[in-house]
Amino acid sequence: MSNRIFILGDRAVYAAFIIIVLALPLLVDDVFWLNRIAKYLVFGMLGLAIALSWGYAGILNLGQGLFFGLGAYMIAMSLKLQSYTSLQQGSDKPIPDFMLWNAEPGAPTDLCCITPGSWLWIPFQAQWFGMAMAVVVPVVFALIIGSTIFRLRVSGVYVAIITLALVLLARLLFIDLQPVTNGFNGLTDLGWLTIAGIEFDPFMVATYYIIAVSVCVVLLLSRWLISTRAGLILQSTRDDPNRSRYLGYDVASYQVFFFTVSAGIAGFAGMLFVIVSEFATPTYFDIAFSISMVVWAAVGGRSSLIGAALGAILINTIEASVSESEMFQQAWRLIIGIVFVLVVLYMPRGLAGLARDVLARVVALSQRTGGKDSQSSHTAAE
């Protein structure tokens, strides 16, 4: 009985989310806010990716920024080559401006050899290549990292520390490899995404829809993924990996699969973020950013995909709003710190858990007044 209500409630939340996200341009007549919301929707995707690996697989990835950053850089390379200034650097083929900067005197003005490693950019002259790599590269890296970690049965906090060290390493390399990455300044001054001759201005309603539809699709796909048998088996490996092994499942392959899916989503999110914000920087590899994603997911509800996504969107929207009042600017981080400690202490299942408990209370109350026995409030159908 109560189970049905939870499933219905769950569906209602998804439906409401999708309807609101898709109808938003009709309500918000301000392209600036649309662009802002598009960015937060991308963060919502990141929260969702964390929930997928952390909530459902028990894998806390403190280096998710690695995959986000890789995705961002891949598309940014393509868009950089499309920018007007890249065509202006004294060659008939596009050359990113910073490469001239880093070029050795006398180096030919060509992507092949202007700086050491600049040849890596050659295929990115095709935009579709950058778009594809934005997902492929994070996925390949995640496959390699994931299979190493999980085949060796590294688990729990050690996964967190390895991923943390990895993202630090990536940050170091991206800053140091200036001839290829433009170092600390990152890739800026990008062209706009162009599909079928249409340029997608980040502040255009159409661009908003690219993001909005992507987020909805990823959300639904992830939801489908966790409700498949594979999703169920994954959750079993989180609870008791040994039991799963004795049932005949190769636990590592499930962990690698979902770790990789989560990384792929993060890479995709990185790509979308570049499309709406027009730049990629090594700060995507900052530890603070990766931990922020975990914070969003924890506040929203680590074991609810939509909860984690809403957590990310909510926190960022509030943050943007309070930053407009001088007094709050300083206090905001303090508040976020306090809220976060409280959530971990008293609301480990986050806002989604809270909503569920409230619904359970309501159900129990209505059943009691209806003269029936109140049932167990828990359900695992997420």
Partner 1 sequence: MSNNRRNFLKQTAAYGATAALGPGLWASAARAESEIDVGVLFSLTGGLSIVEQSLADATLMAIDEINAAGGVMGKKLNPIVEDGASDARTFNERASKLVLRDRVPTVFGCYTSASRKAVLPIFERRNNMLFYPTYYEGFECSKNVVYTGAVPNQQLSNYIPWIINTLGKKKFFIVGSNYIYPREMAKVSKILIEQNGGEWVADEYLELGHSEWGAMVSRIKSSGCDVVLSNVVGDSVIAFYREFRNQGLTHDQLPICATVTSEIEIAAMGAEVAAGSFTSFPYFQAIDTTANNDFVERYRRFVDDSSAVTQHALECSYFQVYLWKQAVEKAGEVTPDAIREGIKGQTFDAPNGKVTVDGENLHTFLTPRIAQWGGDGQGEIIDEYPEPIKPLPYVAYGETDGDLFCSAAGLDSSRL
Partner 2 sequence: MKAALTIEGLEVDFGGFKAVDSMTTVIDDGELRVILGPNGAGKTTLMDLISGKTAATGGKVHLFGRDITNRPEHEIARAGVGRKFQIPSVFRDLSVLQNLEVAVSHEPRVFRNLRLGMSRADRKRIDEVIDLTGLGAVLDTLAGDLSHGQMQWLELGMLITQQSKVILLDEPTAGMTQGETSKTADIILRLKGTHTILVVEHDMAFVRKIAEKVTVMHLGKLLAEGPMQTIEADPAVRDAYLGSGGLH
Partner 3 sequence: MFEVLFIGLSLTSVLLLIALGLSITYGAMGVINMAHGELVMIGAYTAVLAGIHLGFNIFLSLPLAFVVAALVGLLIERVVIRRLYGRIIDTLLATWGVAIILQQLIRLEFGLTFFGISIEGLGPGLQNMRVPTFMMEPFDLMGLSIQPYRTFILCVTILLTALTWYLVYRTAIGVQVRAIMRNPQMAAACGIDVRRVSALTFAYGSGLAGVAGVLLAGFRTVMPDMGATVVVDGFLVVVVGGVGSLLGTILSSALLGQINGIVSVFSNDIIARAVVFGVVIAIILWRPRGLFSFKSR
CB of 67 to partner 3, least distance (A): 16
Alpha carbon 49 to its chain's center: 6
Q: Is residue 154 within the footprint of partner 3 (CB under 8 A)?
A: yes
Judge contact between 236 and 244, C-beta under 8 A.
Answer: yes
User: What is d(CA 190, CA 207) in angstroms, rounded to the nearest whole number?
Assistant: 15
Nearer to partner 2, 212 or 226 (CB): 226
Shortest separation between residue 255's beta carbon and partner 2, angstroms: 10
Asked if residues 200 and 206 have their Cβ atoms less than 8 Å apart, the reply is: yes
Residues contacting 85, CB < 8 A, separation 6+: 97, 189
Residue 349 near residue 299, CB atoms below 8 Å? no
Residues that bind partner 1 (CB under 8 A): 30-33, 35-36, 39, 84, 88-90, 97-98, 100-102, 109, 172, 175-176, 178, 182-186, 188-190, 199, 201, 203-206, 277-279, 281, 283-284, 320, 323-324, 326, 329-330, 333
Q: Which residue has the tokens 């190493």?
A: 148
Closer CB to partner 2, 3 or 317, in the complex: 3
Site string for partner 2, 190-229 (x = CB under 8 A): ----------------------------------xx-xxx
Binding residue for partner 3 (CB under 8 A) from 100, 287, 320, 364?
A: 287
Least distance to partner 2 from the beta carbon of 76, Å? 32
Stretch that binds partner 2, among 130-138, 139-147, 242-250, 310-318 (CB under 8 A): 242-250
257 binds, among partner 1, partner 2, partner 3, none (CB under 5 to 8 A by kind): partner 2
Per CB under 8 A, 327 contacts partner 3 = yes
- Report CA-CA distances (Å) from 46 to 63, 181, 344, 355: 12, 23, 19, 21
Which C-beta is closer to partner 1: that of 230 or that of 318? 318
Instruction: Return the closest-CA partner of residue 364 out of 373, 374, 354, 356.
Output: 374
CA distance 294 to 306: 14
CB-based contact 264:138 (threshold 8 Å): yes
